[in-house]
Amino acid sequence: MSIAHPAAKSTDLGLIISDYLTLTKPRVVSLIVFCAFIGMLLAPSETLTLSRVAVATFGIALVAGAAAAFNCLVEQRIDQSMARTRGRATARGVISTRAALLWSLVLGGLGMVLLLAWVNTLTAVLTFATFVGYSIIYTLILKPRTPQNIVIGGLSGAMPPALGWAAIADNVPAEAWILVLIIFVWTPPHFWALALYRTKEYAAAGVPMLPVTHGPEFTRFHVFLYTILLSTVTLLPFIIRMSGWVYLATALVLDAIFLRYAWLIWRHYTDQIAQKTFRYSIFYLSAIFAVLLIDHFIQ
């Protein structure tokens, strides 16, 4: 009889934990949590407490992770067809359908309990609606059926600032919806830049992304159009006096860089430019929200 080495068991356990954590898409969830956190800090300061921020952040993160795990479960076949996703545990068959579903339910249930018990009902309802929007409306209905999946389904991904604001203020005023609008308009050029250099993979997986259904030239032009719209929308915080000159100056610089990338995608496309645009778009959104917060506290 052979005896397994303790180190091997430890390594196996580490791999199992890593696989389950990977299903929650930590990088995506971290951006979601960051945007929700900004919403919390921009909400009226008299209702801001460290404990409330901590519980709300953790609750929102758990539900977001649950939605990501459910997405991996539903898109197992699609993930197997694409280079960037075929390493996921569900795609490799390492985690079963039942286990992935249970993992999603546990994370989502725990997150909802935290939000209902220690935050407020509005945040819990909006977070649950966001879960349904991403997991059901986007993943199950829109993504496999329409090239406008990113545009229509983008609302669920744009909700984190509203969730954060609601967690602190127990309401969602116009200022919070402007933050939602920024992410909503940012989503199409962000994802279409990715889809442009992954078009063959999306086509092979049978996903009707815009470059698959309407061609790369049409998509490249719409990346540019949406980036123009995004640059306009990011001026709204300054226009309604939600922010000051520091935000405006920084936003104009960030917008100018994004517009240059979008112009290059439209007129001088290469896969390398699309990859750089995709990476910059992630930095761009983080920077826009970070400087909005900085401006808020120095006014």
Residues 157-206: tens digit of each pLDDT: 999 999 999 999 999 999 999 999 999 999 999 999 999 999 999 999 89
Quote the CA–CA distance of 141 and 134 in Å, as a whole number.
10
Give the pLDDT score at 11.
55
**Identity of residue 12:** D
Which of 143, 170, 197 delimits the end of a domain? 170
Q: What's the CATH number where 102 sits?
A: 1.10.357.140
Residue 111 to residue 123: CA distance in whole angstroms = 11
- The residue behind tokens 């919403």 is 39
Percentage helix, strand, coil for the chain under 3-state DSSP, each rounded to 5: 80, 0, 20
pLDDT in tens, 39-96: 999 998 777 899 999 999 999 999 999 999 999 999 998 888 888 888 889 999 999 9
| Closest alpha carbon to 107 in 58, 74, 73 | 58
Residue 232, classed as helix, strand or coil, is helix
**Confidence (pLDDT) at 237:** 98
- Alpha-carbon gap, residue 58 to 160, rounded angstroms: 13
Burial 65-85, CB ≥16 within 10 A → b, else e: bbbbbbbbbbbbebbebbeeb
Domain boundary residue among 138, 170, 202? Answer: 170
Which of 139, 138, 149 has its CA nearest to residue 213?
149
Find the CATH number of the domain harbouring 211.
1.20.120
Same domain, 155 and 184: no
Contacts with 292 (C-beta within 8 Å, 6 or more apart), sequence order = 38, 42, 179, 237, 242, 243, 247
- Count of alpha carbons within 13 angstroms of residue 138, beta-carbon side: 23
Render pLDDT for 86-145 as a digit per residue (tens, 0 to 9): 888 999 999 999 999 999 999 999 999 999 999 999 999 999 999 999 999 999 999 989
Tens of pLDDT, residue by residue over 234-275, are 999 999 999 999 999 999 999 999 999 999 999 999 999 999
Residues 60 and 137 in one domain: yes
Same structural domain, 4 and 110: yes
Instruction: Indicate whether 7 and 103 sit together in one domain.
Output: yes
- Shared-domain flag, residues 6 and 81: yes
Taking the C-alpha atoms of residue 276 and residue 119, their distance in angstroms, rounded to an integer, is: 39
| Domain carrying residue 191 | 173-299
Long-range contacts of 19-22 (CB under 8 A, 24+ apart): 19/89, 19/94, 19/95, 20/89, 20/95, 20/103, 22/88, 22/89
The rounded distance, in Å, linking the Cα atoms of 112 and 61 is 10
Would you say 157 and 134 are in contact if contact means Cβ atoms under 8 Å apart?
yes
At residue 153, the pLDDT reads 86
pLDDT tens-place string over residues 266-283: 999 999 999 999 999 999
Cα 42 off chain centre by: 20
91 and 180, same domain (yes or no) = no
Last residue in a domain, options 170, 196, 223: 170
Are 162 and 180 within one domain?
no
Instruction: Indicate if the alpha-carbon torsion angle 133, 139, 140, 142 is positive or negative.
Output: positive
pLDDT 10s digits, 204-219: 989 999 999 999 999 9
Please tell me the total count of domains within the chain. Answer: 2
Residues 242 and 163 in one domain: no
Q: How far apart are CA 123 and CA 209, in angstroms?
A: 32
pLDDT grade for 3, boundaries at 50, 70 and 90: very low
Instruction: Please check whether residues 144 and 198 belong to one and the same domain.
Output: no
The encoded tokens of residue 152 equal: 């229509």
Same domain, 286 and 195: yes
61 and 187 belong to one structural domain: no
Q: Are residues 200 and 97 in the same domain?
A: no
Residue bearing tokens 């280079």: 83
Mean pLDDT score of the chain: 93
Neighbours of 206 (CB within 10 A): 11
